[in-house]
Structure 1
Amino acid sequence: MDKKTELGLTVAFYISKFDKVAYAQLPFGGVTATHKEVGTRLDIKPTSIQNMRDEFDPINDNPRKGWHQRNLTPTRREIVDRYGSYSEPRLRHVVFEILELSIPTEDWSAEEIRSVVNTYFYLVLLDQVGALRDLDALLEYISMEILHGRDNYSVLTYYRYITRVLRSKQLPFLKSVPSIRRPRRKIIEVVTAQIDQLSASFLEVFQNVQQTSGNPPSVEALIRNLDVLGQHLTTLDSTAKVHRNHNRPPEVIEDALPFFAESQALILKIKRDLENVPQNRSALIFDIHTLTRLGMKLAIWIGDRVTDFGKAAAVAAGTAMGAAIAVWATGLAPHLLQTIRAMGQLIGF
């Protein structure tokens, strides 16, 4: 199909799929005004935009019947296959780019941007091992559990800034998250500052992950890997406690590993679920999601304790937190990601 038709169908699919939400998010007014403005921007008749929308209506949950008398044509099916699994915020980003609308960006605190960079780096690692399965679900988790009060659309907006900066630095990035096209310089600067602080630790993990084994998974190998994972977690928790008790020089320290017990309990549950793999497939899928999210919390916990100066000083001095960072980069993170990948491969997920 030609480019104009492709863009028109994409916008029409967004409107059909998300209906009232889509009309509210597009800043053009009511239904008729929206069709007119979309048509003007894409050089397509407004009635054609409406007809395109109607073609998608029978497969979407909205009050219109649409063109229910006929099946989707190959070009329409192509759009559905490409964007059918997208959440509203993710597809809204695509549509705003097509219509050349400015992407609204809220100013976040340095701590929030640090957290979102840490989650992005973690998703790059998941992607590197072929275990990034549902970006929208993970964005929802980040919005709800990591960045309380920031919606998916805002998280994805910052992800697009991160992609832009990483591409400019020729560092690994998420190919599924496009660069922001018309960035705000202030946000580029604060995102760049956080990436500069965190990228060395990330690249160390990235290189170690590339060296992990890609052998076909087995239940026995997975159980051994889980044992090693538990050992790394114990080491990490022990180093955190040593650091927490360190007081020379005096300083305020808040370096507990709050989810250590949760991590060990999850490892035991996974081992039990692996005892009967075919029947426990749904339980293992749940375990994969839980372990993936636990890994994200660990990545943030480590990342929050890494700065260019702090890491260099800690490692040079042989302090406990320097050891904890090393445990994450050389052992825990690679084993965690390998386990997530192997579990998915074992059950065909």
Structure 2
Amino acid sequence: MCTRHSIHCFIPPYILEHMAQSPLERVRALAITNLASGAAFVAFRMSAQAMPTLLAQKSPDGTKNRLIYDAKGTNSLPGTLARAENQKATGDAAVDEAYDGSGDVYDFYEQLFQRNSLDGNGMTLVSTAHVAEVDFQGEFVPMNNAFWNGQQMAYGDGDGIVFKRFTGSLEVIGHELTHGVQSFTSNLTYQGQSGALNEHFADVFGMVIRQWKEGTAVEDASWVVGKELLVPAPTRRGIRDMEKPGTAYANDPELGDDPQPATMAGLYTGPKDNGGVHINSGIPNRAFVLTAKALGGNAWEVAGRIWYETMLQLHSSSQFDDCARITVQVAGNKRYGAAAKKAVKAAWKKVGITV
């Protein structure tokens, strides 16, 4: 479901490829299924990028509207409606986490940026929990991923061996829904550096939404993305480390080694991962963290606002240099001051981009 040409998925293909070599039969079989099931989504993903406004389901009254469905262990989307806006908790952890998490994302964008849902125009937030995939025997198996398909969110329950349920991490929910936000703004093409920026903004706001919700200041913040997803092991801390790219996992028997570079000197230029969209996102991720730490306080107050305004100004084929240049320009606004501009320039320079 989440291969090279597929929809926006949280777990990168190179992790699934390594898992497909696992000595554990269950892990290996699920990874092969996950990698093999993406072809059916090629056409949908391309149309979703071309015309995102046509896929948006509007809220009846133009305000926050959440619809959480239950796929009940199948791949049928959206599934059976399990919880709608203003309804009480169901007692199903995945359904209720999807409801609460999508509400947190809506509140973040509305309260900080006066953005009415993902499209800015009251789009209904549709999510499906308990999504599965079909293996080669025609049986439904747990999905080790979460994805945004241009229209809705879908969450797998994980295999219980490497991954837990994907609704259990707020930054995963924020990450995937931010793919929706950027599809209505910069609409960054999911290939090469523009695709890495696509993943970068999703990581930034996924993490900042979590910090905002928990009231965590920069000096106390963790920048490890997706740590709640993983069944604990000494060789893994998360899926990505925004502050220290390339260190989230190492010599892990299931995940392998984290391939993210920390600077432009290590930029991946090969064909896998859509030209390194998840791999190279570590470079701008680090620039954001360096900026946020230099400014102190809360990441959503200055650094987050600079990055949000930048996301609005980029275009579909923007590169890292474009992002760096615009963040510096935005930071130079009188509202942020000379210290912010200096911090942003220094952060990009540390990752190998001079503005």
- Using structure 2 for the length normalisation, give the TM-score: 0.26
Q: Which has the higher contact order (CA 8 A, sep 6+)?
A: 1
Which has more radius of gyration?
Answer: 1
